[in-house]
Amino acid sequence: MSAPFGNPIDSLTVTTGAINPQAERAVIAALIRDPDGRKILDLRITPELFAMDATREAFSAIRALILDGIQPDAATLRRAINDASLIEVETSLQEHVSAANLPVYVRLLKDSLRDRQTQAARARLVKAVAAGCTPNELRPFLDSIEQAQAGMEGKRRFLEVGELCALPPTENWLMKGYLTLDSLTVLFGDPGCGKSFLAIDIACHVATGTPWRGCPVKPGKVLYIAGEGRNGLSKRFRAWFERHGEPPRNIQICTVPIALTDPAGIAALVAEIQAMPEAPALIVVDTINRNFGPGDENATADMTKAVAGLDAIRNATGAAILAAHHSGHGDKSRGRGSSVLRASVDVEYAVEKFDQTVQVRC
């Protein structure tokens, strides 16, 4: 089966180095002792930070319970995780009696993840060389190694408050006032409300760098993951470029569904994206339902896996992730399915259609 974006190199490599069991257990214990969902979101604690299968499964279950407002105790976890993960939970609580220093342990996990990513990037380079790639084709692999190594150097644990106040704003706008890089944004609404129309409009504005509704736009490469509907997409994209007098460019479209709930599939997708000559600025997933994969979007555990898939793509690429989603069956003021999604996004926009007007509200 060919890769979604047509990359001829199978660059998926799994490494087992750079594991920090103590930090993983410390984070597990801290979240059980102080189950504050805001910490998970603010510190961007995601399953990929955990290298051990048992602690990764335990964290996913703990996060799902916390975000649903359920206390993650032994009884609730016993029903959600296997024996190996339960043993890790018990070991974590024995080794770490306090919830203090969670940010420090999370930073250690992120350092370990960068180390693993560096190892994986080196392995992909070796594989590319063995496949006979040209120097130009090898450049992205070398760049990925340099980027991973750069992220590991010169990290201090503490900043003086004066240094913190002197830091520039963290918002890195892709579309001023609406989209930032390294973020997860959801557009939700009823079928036919214009979600895909709006997503295509935003994608084309980013691809061409043209202002969107008067807002400055930083030009960049766009990946549009539709999952299906090649003919309909062709008409919509052609109409946009003709209407704006721009030549079609800077967008790659995937009409093969991805499975957000499948970690192996997401890892393969991430590896393919990282091997591209130019990193994407915007990745559109249209829709979450089409690209959900195995599972039920109403189930907390399955939606948690899907969010982890979106987070993995965002963390690996630094791109703005824009996901189109259907509104709830009963409650039209929120996206459909488990509340885990709403709790995990950076921004959520409701899309409504009135006659020929599409309205967007935050």
pLDDT per residue over 181-206, tens digit each? 889 999 998 887 888 889 999 999 99
Burial class for 132, CB neighbours closer than 10 Å (0-12, 13-18, 19+): exposed
Residue that is last in its domain, among 167, 202, 231: 167
Burial class for 130, CB neighbours closer than 10 Å (0-12, 13-18, 19+): exposed
Mean pLDDT of 11-16: 33
Q: Are residues 200 and 158 in the same domain?
A: no
Helix residue ranges, H only, 151-189: 161-166
pLDDT of residue 330: 63
CATH of the domain at 241: 3.40.50.300
pLDDT of residue 339: 84
Q: Are residues 197 and 160 in the same domain?
A: no
Q: Are residues 158 and 198 in the same domain?
A: no
Share of the chain above pLDDT 70, in %: 84
**Who's near 69: CB < 8 A, 6+ residues apart?**
none
Share of the chain above pLDDT 90, in %: 29
Residue that is last in its domain, among 167, 202, 229: 167
Q: Are residues 207 and 335 in the same domain?
A: yes
Instruction: Print the domain residue range for 178.
Output: 173-361
Split into its structural domains, the chain has a count of 2
DSSP-derived letter for residue 251 is: E
The answer to whether residues 28 and 59 touch, using CB atoms and an 8 Å cutoff, is yes
Number of H helices, E strands in the chain: 13, 9
Q: Are residues 107 and 185 in the same domain?
A: no
Residue 111: pLDDT over 60 = yes
Q: Are residues 158 and 274 in the same domain?
A: no
- On the CB side of 149, CA atoms within 13 Å amount to 9
Q: Are residues 160 and 196 in the same domain?
A: no
Task: Supply the pTM of this predicted model.
Answer: 0.57
| Amino acid at residue number 281 | A
Higher pLDDT, 254 or 19: 254
Q: Are residues 68 and 159 in the same domain?
A: yes
Q: Are residues 301 and 336 in the same domain?
A: yes
CATH of the domain at 160: 1.10.860.10
Q: Are residues 202 and 334 in the same domain?
A: yes
Q: Are residues 158 and 236 in the same domain?
A: no
Higher pLDDT, 39 or 72: 72
pLDDT of residue 153: 46
Higher pLDDT, 150 or 53: 53
Strand 251-254's sheet: what is its strand order? 251-254, 221-225, 280-286, 320-326, 183-189, 347-354, 357-361
Q: Are residues 231 and 91 in the same domain?
A: no
305-353 tens-digit pLDDT: 999 899 889 888 889 999 999 886 666 667 677 888 888 899 999 888 7
Tell me the three state secondary structure of residue 214. coil
Most confident of 111-115, 207-211, 271-275: 207-211
**C-alpha to C-alpha distance for 291 and 326, rounded to whole angstroms:** 13
The 10 Å Cβ neighbour count of residue 155 is 10
Of the chain, the end-to-end C-alpha distance in Å amounts to: 40
Question: Where does the pLDDT of residue 49 fall: very low under 50, low under 70, confident under 90, or very high at 90 and above?
Answer: very high
Residue that is last in its domain, among 150, 167, 184: 167
